[in-house]
Amino acid sequence: MSVGVITQRLSGEGAIDTNIESILPEQLLPGKLRDSLDHLSDQSANRIALLLTSEDDSYQAAGDDLRARLAESGLVESDLATGQAFGRWIFANRNDLLCETRPEAFDVDAAKDVYKQALARIYGIGAPVTGDLLKADPFLLTLHLSDCFDPSPKLPERADLISGTLSQSAFRMDTQVRLSNLIDDWRAEWASSSVELSRSGAVFYAAHSVASAKTEMGLIGGVGLAGVIVLFWLVFGNFRSIAFVVGLIGASFTVGLAMTLLVFGHIHVMALVFSAMLVGVVADYGVHAMGAGVGNNWPTPAERKALLYRPMTVSMMTTATGFLGLIFLSVPIFQQLSIIAIIGVATAWAIVLHIYVSMTRKPRHAEKVQSRWNLAERLADRAFQARRVFLVLGILLAAMTMFGISRMSFLDDVRQFQPRDSALMNEETAVREVLQQPATPTLLISTGDSLEAARAREEMALSGLSSGEVMIARTRFDPSAARREANRAALETRLYAPYLADLQMRLGLGDGERAPVAADLPDWLADLHVEFQDSHALIAQVDAAAVSKLPEMEGVQIVDLAASYSRAFRTYRELATKALMVALLVALVFVALVYRKMAALSIVLAPAAAMLGGLFIPVAFGFPLSFFSLAGAIVLFGIGVDYSAFLWEAGRKDENWTKASVLVGALTTMFSMGMLGLSETYPVRSFGLTVTTGVVCALVFSALAYHLGKRDSST
């Protein structure tokens, strides 16, 4: 059933989310405004621009070929269509608009420049000017406004630019694959020429992220699984144990993934990378199950279940509690990870206790398996009896933890979370220089009781900026009624009155028709307006370097999304710290109710100390704390309780098999979790370093639970 769910969901649209913005916290802004920003973000993400350059004229034929391929594929809608709608709007509103952000800025000199520019265009060779256009628009304001609102790209010599909008989401994997294959085929066709291609667009970064994630999933999951297989072969010496663990991991992951897809309808590619850590967590249960058999001369299913039930249930419940905390952090990928992990761990628990224990029997070559396991038991027993060694290691880890606390530093800047391919960044820079686009826009949100009131506030806020500092704002194209009247007055008094008669005489024109012409507002401009139940908002983009010029005024909000998300991550880091404290208190109460002994609280206190080590020992080596470190600590807590619960039982019952299974389980966890620390993506690496370091600490500090359990059995 789970396989069917996965197959059905993954065959649909957008089942694998590759949008890096999905790792960001939700509810940063009010819902409708957030939805509008998401829509604008999607529109921006779907934009692509391709710059072709060459040493000869081959760029022309290469550009025509690439345009034809894109048109045939249906992947890209050319800017020509949207450009025509924009041109009609500018023509219809030419006498109500100014390039300047204030009517006062359209002074005598500015008007004279417009007049001279019109004459130059009229008498220029090849100018797109007709008699009908001159009659309706004698000063060619449509062309003048188009130039300042949407400046022509500054193409270098022997260069061509192709721009447009993707017909499908840039974050759909099939879109990325089709576009990448199309460009690769085109490049192969023109490989012998001097043509070079520079790309700009989120789709190319998303495709690179997917490729990197696939590589990391193969490395993290593959190498981790290979390490577990080798370890199990050394300890158990038969393929049956390996097959069981691989099957247990596969079943747990499959059921967890199916449930996640049912709940969310999709899953982020980074959540899949994170979920590779299930290899270690689930393998621990397999080790305990097999260790309970070989370490106790293969008891009956009922006896083996009795050995496993309480510590494994305590472990499963506390691990699930730790992952449950991720759901409340409002970060989609961690909510998805929590479902995979909770369902996966519960599935492994159920399979071990209710299927595996009942079905397994003593193997034919039991002596060989017993011999290998006895060696593991002797090593584990010798290790846990070395109290001084554990004491020294504990002191050393505690000292490193304290040193890390003294050097505490944090990383909340989302811009440092996802590495960008340097080649793509260089290509994008080249395209932006041609398009004359700044790379760091800031949002200006103006609100009012009506659309007209919101327009007035946006105009007032932008009045101190130059036209080049306003990247996009609805009021630049669709001003308020008051601004339209002021713009018309400025044009009438400074342009039409002084120059119209002279221009008409020069060109032999009669009085032209200046009556209004109807045109629909282009969709991309309409999307800058958000209507609420009792208010309206306009969203503008300004150059980040000009933010200091913006006034502080009621109803106007400056939003730097990157800075806002960074502040949100700092807040969620603080909330995650509180979640850890709550999880710790809940676990203390749970263990106290189950064991009813003060000494048993070491089952919780040991992993709590391990959490501190996992968080702050990496800090001692220069890795700052982040929200993702805290998320890893939540997971680590559940793993640490698993070790402490089993070792408490080992101390009370003087069991060697439990110590061996914990030791082998810790090694399997380090194989899988340790690989996360090799990721290029900071969230994954931070998560992995915290958990891997913490597992070492948990193994050392859980010796306290073992010795207290042993003391409890003798009293």
Mean pLDDT throughout 192-202? 90
Identity (one letter) of the amino acid at 629? S
pLDDT for 18 equals 62
Identify each DSSP E strand in 395-503 by its residue range: 441-448, 470-472
Burial of 550 (0-12, 13-18, 19+ CB in 10 A): middle
CA dihedral angle for residue 354, residue 356, residue 358, residue 364, rounded to 10 degrees: -170
Reported confidence tier of residue 26, pLDDT bands at 50, 70, 90: low
* Mean local confidence (pLDDT), 592-607: 85
In the chain, where the domains are located: 47-200+479-509, 206-414+563-714
CA distances to 27, 250, 629, 631, 699 from 568, rounded to whole Å, are: 10, 35, 15, 15, 34
Strand 159-166 and strand 441-448: pairing? Answer: unpaired
SS3 536: strand
pLDDT at 414: 67
- The burial class, CB within 10 Å (0-12 / 13-18 / 19+), for 74 is exposed
Contact 307, 288 (CB under 8 A): no
Structure tokens at 284: 């621990």
pLDDT for 295: 81
- In this structure, the dihedral spanned by the alpha carbons of residues 611, 616, 619 and 623, taken in order and rounded to 10 degrees, is 10
Would the pLDDT of 413 be above 80?
no
Q: What is the pLDDT of residues 653-712, one digit of tens each?
A: 877 888 888 888 888 778 777 777 777 778 778 888 898 899 999 989 988 888 888 887
Residue 229 scores a pLDDT above 70 = yes
Rounded to whole angstroms, the Cα distance separating 608 from 606 reads 5
What's the pLDDT at 103? 92
Taking a C-beta distance cutoff of 8 angstroms, is the pair 203, 18 a contact?
no
Give the pLDDT confidence of 117-126 residue by residue, as tens digits.
988 888 876 6
Q: Model-level pTM?
A: 0.69
The pLDDT > 70 percentage for the chain reads 87
Could you tell me which residues are beta bridge partners of residue 539?
Answer: 445
Q: How confident is the model at residue 439 (pLDDT cuts 50, 70, 90)?
A: low
As given in the structure block, the two tokens for residue 612 are 């501190």
CB atoms within 10 A of CB 593: 8
Task: Point out the least confidently predicted range of 97-111, 475-489, 541-555.
Answer: 541-555
- Predicted confidence at residue 8, as pLDDT, reads 58
Reply yes or no on whether the pLDDT at 553 is more than 80: yes
Q: Band of the pLDDT at 62, cuts 50, 70, 90? A: very high
Q: For residue 91, give Cα distances in angstroms to 87, 512, 559, 633.
A: 6, 14, 32, 60
Which tens digits make up the pLDDT trace of 354-387? 998 888 777 777 777 788 888 888 888 887 777 7
Q: Say what the pLDDT of residue 515 is.
A: 56
d(CA 284, CA 643): 9
User: Residue 514: its pLDDT value, please?
Assistant: 57
* Position 468 confidence tier, pLDDT thresholds 50, 70, 90: confident
Q: Which of 47-56, 253-262, 285-294, 608-617 has the lowest mean pLDDT?
A: 285-294
Residue 470 sits at φ, ψ, to 5 deg, of -100, 105
Range 90-97 average pLDDT: 92
**Is residue 219's pLDDT more than 80?**
no
pLDDT at res. 232: 77
How confident is residue 518, by pLDDT bands cut at 50, 70 and 90?
confident
> CA-to-CA distance for 564 and 34, rounded, in angstroms?
13
> What pLDDT score was predicted for residue 486?
95
- Hey, is 328 helix, strand or coil? coil
3-class state of residue 577 by DSSP: helix
